[in-house]
Amino acid sequence: MTTIPTPSDDKRFFEILDLCCKKIEEKMGTKPIADWRSPDYNLLNSQLGRQTKVYLSENTLKRIFGRLKTPTRYYPQKATRDALAQFIGYRDWQEFELINRFAPQVAPAIQQEIKVADIEHVAPYEKQSKVRTSKLIIGIAIFILAVAVGGFIVFNQIDQVKPGEVSLICENPNGEVPHTAIFKLSRLGNVNEDKQFTINFMDEGPLKTITANQEVVQFFKNPGVVHVRLFYKNKAIDTIAVSMQTKGWVANSGHDSLSAFPIARLKPLSKQKLFVSAKQLDSAGINLSKPFMIGFSNIHSSNISGDNFLFKCQLKTEESRPGIACMQASIFILGSEGRHRVLMVKPSCSAFSEYNFSELHVNGTSKNLSNMSYDFSAGGNVKLLVKNKKVSLFINDKNLLNTTYDKSIGKVLGVKILFNGIGTAASPELSDLNTGELY
């Protein structure tokens, strides 16, 4: 059921919704929403559905963006709000609201409307009085706004946690799937023990609050590496990696999300051919008549640098599947400090291509990535070479992408291969460029 905001919350909610719409406009990167036509809304619907599995009609999107007039402003339901937030890089709407709660508001222009027709029918001194009153109202409003902004800035400068004063600790950061991890805070400075901090578990759970004397317990059910972040006043102050390890390669029903789950009754797979059949998926409870994703994961600690390695593998996707127009294959290299990700699709769907190397994130809607697209339905050999933070992507020995990034992802803690629909990964291998160590 949709939660209707109270009148006091209503105005701020729609300001945050407008901010979300603005970020969506920036991500689409075509033209202002005011100039959008049906093809623009259809493109957004397609990309939103591919990324979040939530599809919205043109009229619904117009209501959200305020382009379709209604007696009262349209209030999207929770699933819709979560999808909009996820589309622009947040875990859900709650996280988007938390981070942007204190974002600067656009102050409405304070105007005292004085109709010319009315002024023409009053005496000159009445005209001057109206003008003086208007100026006085504007002056008072500006003064109040300046005091409020100044007080807010001073308060926030005082109520800050300096780097290193508080850190997040996990008592058991490494465990097998499933894993229950315990989190605490460590205080080095004179930080009030009643201060509340927020823990973000990415896609593995809702935001949770914690104070200096509390413990927070979080259950992780998917193989992978989660970079758990600690926030204070919407500012990230610490990050730690929690690793859900596997004994070799295993299959699960998707990527790191609350809806993903390991495929039951399957032994660790031979890396010579990572594959699960339709019969095995059906026995695991996956509805094959709807779009689904299959992931293969190998998660364990290593001394291999995430900035100096060679990964190679042979990938093969289905030719087609009902409900999936663009078959895709993704490779994730999970590090102790960050991750790399490459999403590859066939040439006709290159708008959905993406790559994410540490802090660098580029998608096919903002840049032409047709050069790195490939149809894997007939199979293809992929090589990902990362040398001193310089990246090269090869498919069938053809160099399709070269780029660089700045921030190290640390040591390699895991490798994941993701398909929408049934896919096959043969002989994946990751090796350290300096030592030759195999992951």
Predicted pLDDT of residue 122: 42
Residues in the chain: 439
What tokens were used for 153?
Answer: 């800035």
Summary count for the chain: helices (H), strands (E)? 8, 20
What's the rounded Cα separation, in Å, for the pair 211 and 197?
6
Strand residue runs (E) in 112-177:
166-170, 174-176
**163: pLDDT confidence band, cut at 50, 70 and 90?**
low
Predicted pLDDT of residue 260: 54
**434: pLDDT confidence band, cut at 50, 70 and 90?**
very high
Predicted pLDDT of residue 29: 79
Q: How many CA atoms lie within 13 A of 129 on its CB side?
A: 5
Q: Does pLDDT of 120 surpass 80?
A: no
CA quadruple 47, 53, 54, 59: dihedral sign: positive
- Fold classification of 250-432 is Jelly Rolls (2.60.120)
Break the chain down into helix, strand, coil percent, rounded to 5.
Answer: 30, 30, 40
Higher pLDDT, residue 38 or 93: 93
**262: pLDDT confidence band, cut at 50, 70 and 90?**
low
Mean pLDDT taken over the chain: 83
Give the domain ranges of the chain: 7-100, 116-158, 166-245, 250-432
The one-letter code for the residue type at 273 is K
**340: pLDDT confidence band, cut at 50, 70 and 90?**
very high
Q: Which CATH superfamily is domain 166-245 in?
A: Immunoglobulins (2.60.40.10)
Surface-to-core class of residue 430, CB atoms within 10 Å of its CB (0-12 exposed, 13-18 middle, 19+ buried): buried
Share of the chain above pLDDT 90, in %: 46
**214: pLDDT confidence band, cut at 50, 70 and 90?**
very high
**305: pLDDT confidence band, cut at 50, 70 and 90?**
very high
What's the rounded Cα separation, in Å, for the pair 228 and 200?
6
Predicted pLDDT of residue 246: 92
Higher pLDDT, residue 200 or 108: 200
Least confident of 29-33, 81-85, 154-158, 408-412: 154-158
**264: pLDDT confidence band, cut at 50, 70 and 90?**
low
**131: pLDDT confidence band, cut at 50, 70 and 90?**
low
Q: Does pLDDT of 111 surpass 50?
A: no
Q: Does pLDDT of 383 surpass 50?
A: yes
Predicted pLDDT of residue 26: 85
**Cis (ω within 30 of 0) for the bond into 178?**
yes
What tokens were used for 5?
Answer: 């905001």
**95: pLDDT confidence band, cut at 50, 70 and 90?**
confident
What's the rounded Cα separation, in Å, for the pair 197 and 232?
5
Predicted pLDDT of residue 217: 96
Strand residue runs (E) in 165-234:
166-170, 174-176, 179-187, 197-200, 208-210, 216-220, 224-232
CA dihedral (74, 77, 82, 84) in degrees, to 10, reads -30
SS (H, E, C) 319-384: CCECCECCCEEEEEEEECCCEEEEEEECHHHHHHCEEEECCEEEECCCCCCHHHCCCHHHCEEEEE
Contact of 350 with 370, CB cutoff 8 Å: yes
What tokens were used for 100?
Answer: 């942007």
Mean pLDDT of 99-112: 50
What's the rounded Cα separation, in Å, for the pair 436 and 439?
10
CA quadruple 124, 126, 130, 133: dihedral sign: positive
What's the rounded Cα separation, in Å, for the pair 115 and 134?
13
What's the rounded Cα separation, in Å, for the pair 43 and 56?
11
